[in-house]
Structure 1
């Protein structure tokens, strides 16, 4: 069986650079890496992914942000009901700086930074309540070494007497699996 090849080149990186067949092969390899064995993954699948996902230049700084604000709330007394409180609408603004191009393959978003492949489930990201991200890491010779998972560390700073809180999420990658 021959493997599909990507039509992407270094000067022509677009999300449509991968064919639908490429995306199926990538999604199947990711399923095997993430779900087949709890402690190990096949190096052949990791090499296949690195060959197929176009490499993109990584910015030296990547920052993401998420801001939430709560609208005004009202409270009062309603006849026949008692005390009533209505919270205002919640507004969320998200953004980022230095994000690399991401390719959608099945239920995954994946990007190739050269030394690693960053993998996220489609409906998850760094700011999700339970983020589902992994990083496939390669050694200096390009040999797959390990798979890590995203484990955030949340800090919250409250400004006294204002009711304002500033949250900070620091990303950390924890060991998960080793190459077999």
Structure 2
């Protein structure tokens, strides 16, 4: 994921966004304040993303050896693991406290800094707005993993399909 350069979002704005996101995500388990959502959307500059966003992660394991060691017995040494990640069509992300935030116009995508779509337990959320620009709901990233085995080989291809599940609704004014 690309990080945006400093121009366009001052440090003060980043702190305001981080505080608003803390309230949205952690204050109430079922609701969030519309004003906090509007503040985040107003401060995070919109960025363009491709109509199709693809990410990939490939892991390969180097060759392994096994044999016998005197006084120890059977020994197996695994080869080095290599990981390659990449993406296409990603929008600019803004770092605000413990969050990475992208403004896609109709929604804001929020990820904790040390998490992404490929993490074992991804920590991502999406703040969705209606056609008038009013906050509607907060969803969380709910991936679906599929493993495809290649017949007559020991190879497998894993596919992670991204999806979003309902989490919170905007609080109604009293």
TM-score (structure 2 length as normaliser): 0.95
Does 61-70 or 158-167 show the bigger shift? Answer: 158-167
Equivalents in 2 of 1:79, 1:109: separation in Å? 52
Task: Kindly indicate whether residue 8 of structure 2 is the aligned counterpart of residue 15 of structure 1.
Answer: no
2:79 aligns to what? 88
1:141 match: secondary structure: coil
1:25 to 8, 16, 34: 16
The answer to whether the 8 Å contact 2:48/2:92 transfers is no
Q: Which runs of 5+ in 1 are unaligned?
A: 1-12
| Distance in structure 1 (CA, Å) of the matches to 2:29 and 2:93 | 26
Q: How far 1:160 moved relative to its partner?
A: 1.5
Any unmatched runs of 5+ in structure 2?
A: none
What's 1:98 paired with? 89
Shift of 1:161: 1.8
Give the CA RMSD over aligned residues. 1.1
Runs of 4 or more, structure 1, over 2 Å off, are none
Q: State the shift of 1:82 in Å.
A: 0.9
Does 1:119 find its partner at 2:113? Answer: no
Note the alpha carbon deviations across 1:48-100, whole angstroms, 9 max, x for none: 01100001123101000000000000001111111111110000000000010
Normalised by the size of structure 1, how large is the TM-score?
0.91
8 A Cα contact 1:133 1:150, kept in partner: yes
